[in-house]
Structures are given as structure tokens and as C-alpha cells.
Amino acid sequence: MRLPPLIAIGAICAACSPSGEDRPDLGEIGSISMNSLAPAALLDNGPALSALGAGALANATTALVDSEMGQKLLKYVARCALPEGDAVSFPLSGGGELEEPGLLGFAPEWKQGALDETAQRVMTGCLMAHVNAFQIQVPISVRTAGKGEASPEEQQLFPAQEMSAFGNYFAADPAQRFLHICFGEGVARALGFEGGVGGGRPAYLDLRVCSTQDACGFNRVGACFAWPQVLGIDKTACSDASGSFYSGCHERPIQLDPATQTWDETVTVYLQEEHLAQLVEEYRQEACAVSTLRCSGGAICAPSPICDSVEL
């Protein structure tokens, strides 16, 4: 398996804009983003996000401007919060300012005042949706119930449901900062109810948001939902599904612990079919080639029918 890229760069960059910015060129569909945020950019900056969310976003002073990773996070903060055509500036410590444009408009009210808890949750989900452990740009359709369904054109172009994210990383109390994630119907159709090749090897979300790290800070709950057309799903994160969205999502499978905290503010990621197929195939290659030391608990990997069919 080729590391670090999770996907073939040439295949994905064919959809990128000629300018090289984090926006694909998809004509009339303007609300498509790219998921190239490094996990550490989010995980290492909980205190900074909490401080940022406590006041208005416009002209906010933040230490995030002092590092390349922090500036990348601010790019996605602006992109998630503000609508296309709007922008926000952050003063630089050495003078001048960092200006970042909006795109998705999930929390436009943040520009003028502090985030309330609902907006904190939606913004958390949106930032998680943009995480990619290998920082390869993949076009994504990012959807949340508060914004309503995507346009018919966007739904047609991006039909493959990859994952859903929920939690709150803006809480003032570090003990109340959570990042939960579950795999979507497209992954379930391709890989089954475990969301992976099995046999103690990493699951799809393990590599998708965590690379090769076991304890990376994201709580991977499992399947988002027990879809009737996908057999075998018996441990699910969310109790309800409607259109593109999930609600009643938990930090543990509801079949195991239905009393855990419920999250209704979720953000779901949809991909183009060919990109999900590429991601899944690259995942299979990596997971099946994994050494025995990286299997669960250090045990020897059990045989996997999926891996038997993979050419390593």
C-alpha cells in the first residue's frame, strides 16, 4: 500500500479548481467543499475554538493565526460558519490581517455574536466533516438539517453517503468536548455492518480520520443507522434517519447503551460515487496489508474473505 496518500491524487485533483484552492470547479453547484483538514488542526485546538466561540467571529483576536495549522483551521471555521459571498478577518500578531471567505453558512450569526450551544454542535460537525487524515482534497457535499436538503443537482452529483459527525468541541469545559463519528450507508453497502474488512484490522473510519493511530481523539461509533436495505447492521449510532440527515445519535451504539447523551445536530458527508469507490478500495488495500502488530490488541489478524480477494 502506498502511504501517505489514501486516494489516487490524480483521480481526485481532476475535480479540483485550476487555481488550486480548496474548492472544486462544479459550475452552478457552488456549495461543494474539500475535506483536507489535518486531524491535529482540530484536535489540538479545543481551547482556542472555545475562546473563539465565546465572542463574535468578526475581527476576533486568536492565537490560531500564529501557526500554519491554526490558520488552516480558521479557513474551515469561516467556510463552515459563513455563507458564500461573505468573509471574516482575523488580526495578525505582526500586523495586517488574515481574511477567509465563507461558503456553507452553517452559523452566520456567529459573525456578530457568540455561538449558542446548537451552533457549537453544528460547527463541530462541519469541522469534523472536513477532516482527512492524509490531507488529500476530496470534493464533499456537507449537509445539516438546519440548512435543509441540498439542491436536486447536488444530490444527484453527490449521492454516496460516507459518514456523519456530531459532538461539541467548543465547550468551555474540556471534559465536555466530544467528537463522534459514524459511517454512512455508502460505506455500509461496500464494507458491511462492521464498516471494514474485519479480523481485528482497522475499520474504514479508523484510517479515514485517524490514519494509523488507534487513539486519535475521534470516537468512531460504528454504523450511523440500521438501513433496511443493508443487511447485518445491528449496532447503530443514531435512532432516526430522514432524508439526508440523522438525529437521536449517541456516543455508543444504541443497542448497547441507549441512555447515553443524544445529539440531534448532525452533519453528514456525501461523495461522488467514483470517489467513494476509490476511497473504499484504497482502504481495503491498506487494511488488508496491515501488519499483525497493528491488529486489535496486538493479536494476530484473523482471516478475512474481503482480504482474500484483494491483490496486495
Instruction: Specify the pairing of strand 178-183 against strand 219-223.
Output: parallel
| Residue 215, pLDDT above cutoff 80 | no
DSSP assignment of the chain equals --SS-SS-HHHHHTTB-TT-SS-B--TT----EE--B-HHHHHTTHHHHHHHHTS-STT---GGGGSHHHHHHHHHHHHHHSBTT-EEEEE-TTSSEEEEE-BB-S-GGGGTS---HHHHHHHHHHHHHTB-TT----EEEEEEGGG-PPPHHHHHH--EEEEEEEEES--SSGGG-EEEEEE-HHHHHHHTTTTB--TTPPBHHHHHHHTT-S--S-EEEEES---TTSTT--SBSEEEEETTEEEEE-SS-TTT-TTSPPB---EEEEE-HHHHHHHHHHHHHHHHT--GGGSGGGPPPPP-HHHHT---
CB 160 within 8 A of CB 276: yes
Long-range (24+ apart) CB contacts under 8 A made by 112-117 are: 112/56, 112/58, 113/55, 113/56, 114/53, 114/54, 114/55, 114/56, 115/53, 115/54, 115/170, 117/168
Higher pLDDT among residues 274 and 294, named by residue? 274
CA distances 293 to 77, 210, 298, Å, are 37, 17, 5
Note whether residue 46 is domain-resident.
Answer: yes
Domain that holds residue 241: 9-290
Residue in 39, 28, 32 with CA at minimum distance from that of residue 208: 39
Note whether residue 82 is domain-resident.
Answer: yes
Note whether residue 296 is domain-resident.
Answer: no
Higher pLDDT among residues 152 and 304, named by residue? 152
CA angle 139, 37, 178 (to 5 degrees): 115
**What are the grid coordinates assigned to 1, written together?**
500500500
Alpha-carbon distance of 74 to 41, in angstroms, equals 10
Determine what percent of the chain is predicted with pLDDT higher than 90. Answer: 69
How much is the pLDDT for 4? Answer: 36
Tell me: the pLDDT tens digits for 80-94?
999 999 999 999 988
Note whether residue 76 is domain-resident.
Answer: yes
Note whether residue 252 is domain-resident.
Answer: yes
Higher pLDDT among residues 194 and 184, named by residue? 184
Note whether residue 306 is domain-resident.
Answer: no
How much is the pLDDT for 213? Answer: 59
| Residue 72, pLDDT above cutoff 90 | yes
What domain count does the chain have?
A: 1
Tell me: the pLDDT tens digits for 218-244?
999 999 999 998 989 999 999 999 999
Q: Which residues contact 33 (CB under 8 A, 6 or more apart)?
A: 22, 23, 79, 103, 104, 130, 139, 140, 142
CB 263 within 8 A of CB 145: no
pLDDT category at 23 given cuts 50, 70, 90 is low
How much is the pLDDT for 5? Answer: 36
> Of 19-33, 56-70, 114-128, 197-211, which gets the smallest average pLDDT?
19-33
How much is the pLDDT for 291? Answer: 65
Chain mean position to CA 32: 14
Alpha-carbon distance of 254 to 134, in angstroms, equals 30
Note whether residue 245 is domain-resident.
Answer: yes
**What are the grid coordinates assigned to 156, written together?**
444527484
